[in-house]
Structure 1
Amino acid sequence: MTKSQITLAILFTLLTFIDVSTSSSNVFNVVSFGAKPDGVTDSTAAFLKAWQAACVSAYSATVMVPTGTFLVKGITFTGPCKSKLKFQVAGTVVAPADYWAFGNSGYWILFNRVSKMSLVGGTFDARASGFWACRKSGQNCPPGVRSITFNAAKDVVISGVKSMNSQMSHMTLKGCTNVAVRNIKLVAPGNSPNTDGFGVQSSTGITLTGSTVQTGDDCVSIGPGTRNFLISKLNCGPGHGVSIGSLAKTLNEDGVENVTVSNSVFTGTTNGVRIKSWARASTGFVNKVFFQNLIMKNVQNPIIIDQNYCPTHQGCPTEHSGVKISQVTYRNIQGTSATQQAMNLACSKTNPCTGITLQDIKLTYNKGTPATSYCFNAAGTNLGVIQPTSCLNK
């Protein structure tokens, strides 16, 4: 391509962008549809009307949530839309303080079957303190809702979003393809029950980068059917770390493959990187997983595989997992363990872990005595300096 052709191509791109981005007719402000930024008036219908108008636009469109606080009840934004759509939030979206308002829906904000869409900015506050108190008291409580869910979505970008005080999971992807998540912040108190941060299931081509997760459960939960998932530059803690699983919830279950967690920091978490499966039969598997360039700061279980998960001692009649774990690499993981057993690789009695690689591990027990490792039915390779001493079968 000649210099003049390159110049024309750039000019055409800029003109196209200017034409779309400055067209006021393609910006659908929720206030124009009746939303009130007072945090009290129910703006659910206005949000839905703005979405529906933008969704049928023949050109790229933006749903705009301006500054202010908007009360929104359970809502579903349905796609696919005719053109690219941006959901731009400058203000704060809050859920009803009455946690019974959602019934048994399971969702607060659901994006269903959307494509070529971006969710940018804003704060989403589920105000779940009353719900947590109900759960802890043992009273009759609703099942709870996930704050932001994408179901069967494709080619999506999520950027600069803050989710606070979720009833259950903050952000969940299910059945999604090609989703890029950047610079999000998910926050709930460390003692809030079951407030997972970012959850993925039955999805492929997902990236989570440059984000902070501080919750009462898993920072990231990776469920069955997850493939090609990259996590990088994650700040995790408090919370339960990054978990593949729980797996083997059902007999016929899809596997987890090609997952990478890199260049991340875990601070005061229950676990660092964990693979967890119920101790019962399953067709599931875990394959090609890379945990690398990680820093642990006072983490209770920095490296853990638990294939004997059976907390209630019910539904686990055989007491061994059918999930096959293979080709898992732990590389350049350093820091401090809050417990003496810094590595715990407890694999299945009938399906031993194979192809485990430990390379350049340096984990110390923060009480001053040497850290230890424990292995059961785990075989693999040791490379470089391993501290605590490796217990892998060769």
Structure 2
Amino acid sequence: MLIQILILITFLFYYPFSSFAANNPTYNVQTYGAKSNGKSDCTNAFLSAWAAACAATQPATIYVPPGRFLLRNAYFTGNLCKNTAITFRIDGTLVAPSDYNAIGNTGSWLKFERVTGVSIYGGMLDGQGTNLWACKNSGRSCPKGVTSLAFYNSNNIIMSGMYSLNSQMFHILIDGCNNVKLQSMKISAPGGSPNTDGIHVQQSSGVAVMNSNIATGDDCVSIGPGTSNLWIQNLACGPGHGISIGSLGWDLQEAGVQNVTVKTATFTGTENGVRVKTWARPSNGFVKDVTFQHIVMVNVNNPIIIDQNYCPDPHNCPNQESGVRISGITYEDVHGTSATQVAVKFDCSKANPCNGITLDEINLTFKDKPAIASCANAGGTADGVVKPTSCL
């Protein structure tokens, strides 16, 4: 944990909030033709402002004034940038088309790739996902949907004070990145909206999510393969599916997850609290050195859960065991209420039992009955007061 703290402190001091220097050039998207009426397509105006900021020889700011700015798919690439410090200061709202076919299956609505030193302050992203969710829930044929904001293969990224509303699918994706800070984020979609994960992190290192509120129809934060040195602190989650490491282990050759800390988080009415989930398939993946600390559960269905037998479609994993090795998972000061009697569930792989699980000061209750713990193929220790009684 000390290593993770040092990484976080280094990041906070090395990338201070100093992007708004008065003598640096500012590019107003309205100068490039953007209209704030929420109806005119502003995509080219935003891309032109990006090109100008990229060509600058000193740190630059792209300014989005108050109003609603309609954008189709926008791809911001850093391949040709001379400038490695571009700040978006957003006082308005970026709006996706209400017709989901206008974006289609392109993967991302707003996509940044191979950028360094990009900062985004303020603003709202309105993904207008309602029509697509209705299509999916009706069983009709419809597009998969897109992530509202994605960063690929990028470094030294800051997002602060942004509000993401009603994304078609994931709200924010961090993939193949290093040193990313998300703070004071608000992410919102109805509890029944499909696949609207708040923040998904994979193949990335040195990501910090702090002081944020996430309410979605899927995971508040989902953690995919190849994630390391992830720090989550002061998070309010609900509705949604909680914080999930996984699903992992779909591929035989898969990068592991390590050095994850979730500290000071509250889960309210969520399907899960803190979860590790792996497919029941062969894999050389792993999860190790994870700490869940100072966690409050409020009427959560599965407050503490490890599920290594995830197999929603029997054709994908018939009669198989998860190959993902889980070790060094610590639960410290987790308390509150469970919506089900099984408040702690460790359903681990027969082929690769969980080991090194630590329960320290756990107090979870269930209505007027004692909460219980359930263990399968799990080993570890319990310290301090642990309720329900440990089954390790």
The TM-score normalised by the length of structure 2 is 0.94
Q: Give aligned-pair identity as a percent.
A: 53
The alpha carbon displacement at 1:56 in A equals 1.1
Match of 2:384 in 1: 384
The alpha carbon displacement at 1:105 in A equals 0.7
The one-letter code sitting in structure 2 at the alignment partner of 1:117 is V
CA distance in 2, matches of 1:374, 1:109: 43
The alpha carbon displacement at 1:86 in A equals 0.2
The alpha carbon displacement at 1:104 in A equals 2.0
The one-character-per-residue Cα deviations of 1:48-68 (angstroms, maximum 9, x if unpaired) are 000010011001100100101
CA distance in 2, matches of 1:264, 1:40: 39
Match of 1:23 in 2: 23
The one-letter code sitting in structure 1 at the alignment partner of 2:309 is N
What's the RMSD between the two structures over aligned residues?
A: 1.1
Match of 1:338 in 2: 339
The alpha carbon displacement at 1:278 in A equals 0.4
The one-letter code sitting in structure 2 at the alignment partner of 1:115 is T
DSSP-derived class of the 1:166 partner = coil
The one-character-per-residue Cα deviations of 1:330-358 (angstroms, maximum 9, x if unpaired) are 00000000000000000001100000000
**How is 1:160-199 mapped onto 2 (pairs within 5 angstroms)?**
160-199=161-200
1:285 aligns with 2:286: yes
The alpha carbon displacement at 1:318 in A equals 3.5
The one-character-per-residue Cα deviations of 1:103-129 (angstroms, maximum 9, x if unpaired) are 221110001111011011100001110
The one-character-per-residue Cα deviations of 1:167-205 (angstroms, maximum 9, x if unpaired) are 100000000000011000110000101110000000000
The alpha carbon displacement at 1:72 in A equals 0.4
DSSP-derived class of the 1:155 partner = strand
CA distance in 2, matches of 1:314, 1:66: 51
The alpha carbon displacement at 1:319 in A equals 2.5
Unaligned runs of 5+ in 1: 1-16
Match of 1:308 in 2: 309
The one-letter code sitting in structure 2 at the alignment partner of 1:120 is Y
CA distance in 2, matches of 1:117, 1:44: 19
1:69 aligns with 2:33: no
**In terms of mean alpha carbon deviation, does 215-224 or 73-82 score higher?**
73-82
CA distance in 2, matches of 1:384, 1:142: 51
DSSP-derived class of the 1:21 partner = coil
Match of 1:60 in 2: 59
CA distance in 2, matches of 1:249, 1:133: 29
**In terms of mean alpha carbon deviation, does 334-343 or 316-325 score higher?**
316-325
The one-character-per-residue Cα deviations of 1:211-264 (angstroms, maximum 9, x if unpaired) are 000000000000000000000000000000000000011111000000000111
DSSP-derived class of the 2:112 partner = strand
The one-character-per-residue Cα deviations of 1:349-384 (angstroms, maximum 9, x if unpaired) are 11000000000000000x211000000000001100
Match of 1:263 in 2: 264
The alpha carbon displacement at 1:88 in A equals 1.1
DSSP-derived class of the 2:251 partner = coil
Match of 2:3 in 1: none
CA distance in 2, matches of 1:48, 1:135: 31
Match of 2:201 in 1: 200
CA distance in 2, matches of 1:164, 1:103: 19
The alpha carbon displacement at 1:156 in A equals 0.8
Match of 1:37 in 2: 36
The one-letter code sitting in structure 1 at the alignment partner of 2:30 is V
CA distance in 1, matches of 2:104, 2:219: 25
CA distance in 2, matches of 1:91, 1:102: 21
CA distance in 2, matches of 1:317, 1:248: 14
Unaligned runs of 5+ in 2: 1-17
Task: Give the total of aligned pairs.
Answer: 373
The one-character-per-residue Cα deviations of 1:297-354 (angstroms, maximum 9, x if unpaired) are 0000000000000012121034310000000000000000000000000000110000
**How is 1:1-394 mapped onto 2 (pairs within 5 angstroms)?**
21-23=21-23, 26-79=25-78, 81-83=81-83, 84-365=85-366, 367-392=367-392
The one-letter code sitting in structure 1 at the alignment partner of 2:171 is H
The one-letter code sitting in structure 2 at the alignment partner of 1:325 is I
DSSP-derived class of the 2:133 partner = helix
DSSP-derived class of the 2:117 partner = strand
CA distance in 1, matches of 2:257, 2:378: 19
CA distance in 2, matches of 1:347, 1:89: 46
CA distance in 1, matches of 2:48, 2:42: 10
DSSP-derived class of the 1:115 partner = coil
DSSP-derived class of the 1:351 partner = coil
The TM-score normalised by the length of structure 1 is 0.93
